Structure 1
Amino acid sequence: MIDPKWLRNNPDLVRRSQEARGESVEIVDELLAADEARRSGIAAYESLRAEQKELGKSVARAQGDQKAELLVRTKQLAADVKVAQAASDAAGARFDELMAQVGNIVLDGVPRGGEDEGTVIETVGTPRDFAAEGFEPRDHLEIGELLGAIDMERGTKISGSRFYVLTGVGAQLEFALLNLAMAKADEWGFTQMIPPALVKPSAMAGTGFLGQAAQDVYHLPDDDLYLVGTSEVALAAYHSDEILEADTLPRQYAAFSPCFRREAGSHGRDTRGIFRVHWFDKVEMFVHCRPEDAEEWHQKLLAFEKEFITALEIPFQVLDVASGDLGLSAARKYDCYAWLPTQQRYREITSTSNCTQFQARRLGIRYRTDNGTEPVATLNGTLSAMTRMIIMLLENHQQADGSVRVPEALRPYLGGREILTVAA
C-alpha cells in the first residue's frame, strides 16, 4: 500500500496517479475522510482508556458514597470505551478497505494511456525474411507436433482446454531453458530458489494479487490457499514481517516454479497452441533493496532480461508500459516483446516491475536504518516464461524441412545438439 503520510501530505500526487491509472480519483477524498475518522477514533478510544485507568486508581482509594459514585461512572465509562473501540475498529477497517484499492504511485516519466499506449524504447535484432528464404513459416504448434514436442490433444484430455503436455524434445527444451536461466542468474549474483506454489491469503494480498487481479487467481477454499500466478508472490512474502539489516541488502533471488492463471477475460484469444495457457513454468527474478536503489535495480533487471533473450537470438522490442496497464503494485514496468513470425508482430514474453515500497509496506518487510526502520523496495522480473520462450525458439529458428536450429547458448544444455529434427 502507499504511505498514509503521502496521502495526507500529497493528496494531489495520489489523485494524479489514480487518474494516470484510469482509476477512481474520488477515492482519495474518501480515504482522507476515512483516515481522519480512523485517527479521531483512535484518539477518542485512547483518551477514554486513559480516563478508565485513572478512575480505577481512584476507586481503589475511595470509600462510601464517593466510591459508589465512582463505580457508577466506571460502569458508564466501560460502556463508552466499548463503543469507542468499535467505532475506531470500524473506521480502521474502512480505511484499510479503501487503501487496498489504491495502486502504487506511478513514477514520473511513465507513458500515460491504456493497454495499447506504451512506448517502444528499443528494438533489438531483425526479424528473418522467410519469403527470401523460399518458404512460409509454420506456427509453433505445427512445428511442435512435427518434432514430437507438444501434445495439446492429450493435455486437453487430461485437464481441459488451455492445457498441454511437453513431450520428448519439448520437455528437453524447457529443461535447457531452465538450466541456462539458472546459470545466468547465478552469474548475476542471484540465489536460486524453489518456493511453494501454494500460498496463504496474506501473501497473495500483500503482493497485490487479490484486488484487480483476483479473478485470474485459483483458490482452494477448503485449505484457504492460493495457487500462484508467479513466484513473485512467494519471493515477496519470503521476508514478510522481518527486519533486514541494511548491509545485507540487496537480497537477490531467482525462483523456478509452476504458475497458474485462469486467463479470465481471454475467451477466444490465443486459443491455438501454448501461448495463453492455464499453467506454465517460469524462472522469476526478485530483489529486496534500499528504496533509493530501486530505479537502478529496475534497469539491471531489464538488462538481464535483454541479455537472456539476445542469447537465444530472438528479435525483440522493449516497451515502457503505459500507466493504465500497470498492475496494482507496479510504479513502472518494462515489457519485452519478441517477434512472432506467423503473426507478423511482437508479443510479450517478459516483464519487470519496480514496486517501490508498496508490497513491502503491506507485507511488513523493513530494514534497519540510523533513524529506525523503514520498508524495503521490491522489484521483480521474468527471466524465462517457458511456454512463450519455446514458442519463440520454434518459430524464429525453424528450417524449411520443419527442423529447428538450436541457438548456441542452449546447445550445452541439449547435449551439444545444433538441430532439433522432425520426429520419425
Structure 2
Amino acid sequence: MPFPPIARYARPMLSLNFIRENPYVVRKAIADKNVALDLDALLQLDGEVRTLKTRVDELRRQKNEISDGFRTASPEERPALGARAKAIGAETAEVETSLAEKNAALDALMLNLPGIPWDGAPVGPDESFNIVVRTEGEPPRFDFEPRDHVALIEMNDWADLGRITQVSGSRTYCLKGRLALLEQALMFWAQQRLSEQGFALMTVPALARPHAFVATGHFPGHEEEAYHIQQDELYLAGTGEIALTSLHTGEIIEAEKLPILYAGYSPCFRREAGSAGRDVRGLLRVHQFYKLEQYVICEDDEAVSAEWHAKLLANAEMLLKDLEIPYQVIEASTGDMGLGKYRMNDIESWVPSLGKYRETHSCSTLHDWQARRANLRWRDGERKVRFVHTLNNTALASPRILVPLLENHQMEDGRVRLPKALQPLMGGEFL
C-alpha cells in the first residue's frame, strides 16, 4: 500500500543537514543495524532535489520579472513577453513534476534511515549478540517435576484453550474463573502502581490509521505483522505506543508541560508472521492480548532521556519483583534493537518449563527519531521549537506474564501460590 508522504505527516528521521555533514556516522549506523539502504543513492537524490528546487525558484523569479515588465512594456513587446512567460510556465510544470517524483523517492528512502545507536550497544546483526546486564532473583528449585502453564491451567480448569480454537483458530485463548479474574486484577494493580509513579492512565484504541504506524516506525517494513481492515483503511495495533505517539502530532508542546507520562492500556493484535511452529502451545505467543505500556515524551536532552530510560526500566523491574518472578536484563545489540532505537533493554522472565528466560518487557529510547516522523515538537526556554525525545517500555502484557507467574509459583498438588502483592486483590494466598 502507498504510505503517506513524510511532508504531510512528519519530517526526516535524521535531518538532511546531519546526513550530509556526517555520512560516515550514518553509514556506520546502517551497517551496525543491518539495514538495507543505499546511502549514496539517498545523497544523490537529495542533490537532485536541491538542484530542481533551485531551478523552480529561478523559473518563478523569471516569471515574476516578466509579469512586472508587462506593466511598462509597449504593445509591440508584449507578445514576446507572453510567449516567454508561456515557455517558462511549461518548463516550470515539467520541473515541478520531476521534483515531486524525486521528492517522493527521497521520502521513501528516508523512511528506512536508522537512528544512531548509543556507543554502549553491542554491535551485531541479531539477538545472538545481546548481552545479559544482570540477573535478579533465583529460579525456584522444585522437589517435584514442575508442570508447564498449560498443564496447570487444564488441571485447575482455568481456560478453554482447546474449544476456543474452534471459534478463533490457533494462537488464541479463553481464560475463565480465577485465572480470568487474576488477569484483570494484574492489569488494574499495575495501573495503580504506575499512577503512583506519576503516569496518567490512558485507555487507547487498537485501531489506527496507516500514518500512525509510519509515525512510530512500524511501517514500512512490518506490515505483515499487523491485521489490516481494508474497508476502513485501518490497522489493528500491537502496542498502545502507536496511538500514544500520534496523539500530539503537529503540536508544539510548551516546556512547562514536559515531561508527558502516559500509561497506555489497550487490547493489542499481532499476526505473528514468521513465527510458524514457535510457541504454538499455550499463552506465550497469541494473536490478541492486553498491554499496559509506559510512554514518555520529554525534552531533547540526552541526559534527561537517559534518566527516563532508567526510570521506565526500574518500573518494570519493580513490578516483576513484586510478582516474585526471577528475571534478567538484556542490553540489545544494534541489529536486534530495531530501526529507530537509540537504546533498548529487554527484560526476560524465568520460565521453569522451558528452563530459560523469555522476554516479557522491552524498554526503548528513540531520541528524536520517532518525533521527527510524528512531528512531535516542544518550545524551549529560549522560544526555540525543537523535536522531543520519546521512550516506551512494557509495564505488563497479558497473557504472557501469566506464564512465568503460574509456573514459578506452582505447588506439587497443582495449586499456585500468589505473590504477597496480589493476595489482597484475590482474597487469599492461592489462586
TM bracket (short chain)? over 0.9
Please point out which of 162, 165, 188 is paired with 1:156: 165
Write the distance in 1 (CA, Å) between the matches of 2:30 and 2:159: 43
1:57-86 deviation per Cα after TM superposition (whole angstroms, max 9, x unaligned): 222332312111000001001101101111
User: Within 5 Å, which residues of 2 pair with 1:292-331?
Assistant: 292=301, 293-331=304-342
Q: Hey, what does 1:18 align to over in structure 2? A: 30
Given the alignment of the two structures, is residue 387 of structure 1 paired with residue 392 of structure 2, yes or no? no
Whether contact under 8 Å (1:140, 1:391) holds in the other structure is yes
Q: Hey, what does 1:397 align to over in structure 2? A: 409
Q: Which amino acid aligns with 1:118?
A: N
Q: Structure 2 length normalisation: TM-score? A: 0.94
Partner-residue secondary structure (3-state), 1:151: coil
1:23-44 deviation per Cα after TM superposition (whole angstroms, max 9, x unaligned): 23x6111111111112222121
Number of aligned positions between the proteins: 415
User: Within 5 Å, which residues of 2 pair with 1:164-183?
Assistant: 164-183=173-192
Partner-residue secondary structure (3-state), 1:173: helix
Aligned-residue offset at 1:339: 0.5
Partner-residue secondary structure (3-state), 1:150: coil
Q: Which amino acid aligns with 2:430?
A: I
The range that moved more, 162-171 or 261-270, is: 162-171
Aligned-residue offset at 1:196: 1.4
Write the distance in 1 (CA, Å) between the matches of 2:394 and 2:315: 9
> Tell me, which stretches of 5 or more residues in structure 1 are unaligned?
none
Q: Hey, what does 2:3 align to over in structure 1? A: none
Q: Hey, what does 2:18 align to over in structure 1? A: 6
Q: Which amino acid aligns with 1:157?
A: Q
Q: Which amino acid aligns with 2:219?
A: L
Please point out which of 222, 226, 229 is paired with 1:217: 226
The range that moved more, 198-207 or 139-148, is: 139-148
Q: Which amino acid aligns with 2:119?
A: D
Partner-residue secondary structure (3-state), 1:61: coil
Q: Hey, what does 1:418 align to over in structure 2? A: 429
Given the alignment of the two structures, is residue 278 of structure 1 paired with residue 287 of structure 2, yes or no? yes
Whether contact under 8 Å (1:112, 1:323) holds in the other structure is yes
1:82-106 deviation per Cα after TM superposition (whole angstroms, max 9, x unaligned): 0111121112111101011122111
Superposition CA RMSD, Å:
1.1
Q: Hey, what does 1:72 align to over in structure 2? A: 83
1:253-286 deviation per Cα after TM superposition (whole angstroms, max 9, x unaligned): 0011011111111010011001011111010010
Q: Which amino acid aligns with 1:257?
A: S
Q: Structure 1 length normalisation: TM-score? A: 0.96
Q: Hey, what does 1:102 align to over in structure 2? A: 113
Aligned-residue offset at 1:371: 5.2
The range that moved more, 189-198 or 43-52, is: 43-52
Please point out which of 386, 410, 430 is paired with 1:374: 386
Whether contact under 8 Å (2:300, 2:386) holds in the other structure is no
1:307-347 deviation per Cα after TM superposition (whole angstroms, max 9, x unaligned): 11111000000000111111222121100000000110000
Q: Hey, what does 2:8 align to over in structure 1? A: none
Write the distance in 2 (CA, Å) between the matches of 1:56 and 1:417: 86
Write the distance in 1 (CA, Å) between the matches of 2:423 and 2:316: 19
Write the distance in 1 (CA, Å) between the matches of 2:247 and 2:153: 37
Given the alignment of the two structures, is residue 127 of structure 1 paired with residue 154 of structure 2, yes or no? no
Q: Report the CA distance shift for 1:150/1:3 in structure 2 as closer, same or farther (over 3 A).
A: farther
Write the distance in 1 (CA, Å) between the matches of 2:73 and 2:368: 53
Whether contact under 8 Å (1:206, 1:237) holds in the other structure is yes
Q: Hey, what does 2:252 align to over in structure 1? A: 243
Write the distance in 2 (CA, Å) between the matches of 1:137 and 1:323: 36
Write the distance in 2 (CA, Å) between the matches of 1:334 and 1:212: 22
1:177-196 deviation per Cα after TM superposition (whole angstroms, max 9, x unaligned): 11111011101100000011
